[in-house]
Amino acid sequence: MALKVLSTLDAARTQYYHFKAIIIAGMGLFTDAYDFFCIIPVMKLIGRIYYHDPAEHQKLPFVVTMVVAVAFIGTMIGQVVFGILGDRIGRKRVYGLALTIMVSSSIGCGFSICRTRKCMITSLCFFRFLLGVGIGGDYPLSATIMSEFANKVTRGSFIAAVFSMQGFGILVSAAVTMAVLAIFDRTSSASKDRTPEVADLAW
C-alpha cells in the first residue's frame, strides 16, 4: 500500500499541494536560517551592553562562540532524535513538534533579558540550545517531506526551492537587525559612546 502511494505521488502532475508543501517546508528552513544567523549581529549589541568595559570586552569572542556553538550542538541532537522519531511515529506529527519547539524557544530567546550578564547569557544559551534541537528536527524532516510529496520530474527543483529559503532567511535576519537598531538609534537620546541598558529590549 505504501509503495502504491509513493508511486502515485511520483507520477502525479504538479498540483496545489506541491506548492503548499514548498511554502510550509520552505518557511521552516527560512526560520532556521533566520534564527541561526541573527545571533551574530545581536551579539554585537549584547557586547556593547554587557561587555562595554575594556577588561570584560576581551571575553566577548568566547561568549559569542559559546552562544553560537550551543545551538549547533542542539541541532546535531535534534537531527538524530527527530529523524528517528519521524520514522517511528510519523513525520507530520514530529514536524509539528519540531516547529513548536522552534517557536517557543525563539520567544524564550527574545525574553532572555536580565539585570546581570551571567543570567542573560545562561538564559540565552539555554533557549538557543532548545532552538537548535527544534532546527535539527526541521532540517531533515523538511527535506524528506518535500522529496516524498514531489513527483519525479520536479523533485530536484522543488527541493532546491525549499532550501533556497535559507538564503532569504539570512538576508532578512540581517535586514531586520539593522532596521531595529536604526529605529532605536533615531528614537534614543543616548550618547554614541555608551549603549544604554534599555537597548537590551531592541534585540
Q: pLDDT per residue over 113-130, tens digit each?
A: 676 778 888 888 999 999
pLDDT tens-digit map of 55-72: 666 777 888 888 889 999
CB 45 within 8 A of CB 181: yes
Closest CA to 170 of 35, 41, 34: 34
| Predicted confidence (pLDDT) at residue 107 exceeds the cutoff of 80 | yes
Can you give the pTM of this predicted structure? 0.80
pLDDT tens-digit map of 130-155: 999 999 988 888 878 777 777 777 77
As a whole number of angstroms, the distance between CA 67 and CA 56 comes to 17
The listed CATH number (1.25.40.80, 3.40.50.2030, 3.40.50.150, 1.20.1250.20) that belongs to domain 19-50+60-177: 1.20.1250.20
Return the C-alpha cell found at 52: 562595554
Which of the pair, 198 or 105, is modelled with greater confidence? 105
CB 58 within 8 A of CB 104: no
| Predicted confidence (pLDDT) at residue 84 exceeds the cutoff of 70 | yes
Helix orientation angle between 16-37 and 91-110, rounded to the nearest 10 degrees: 30
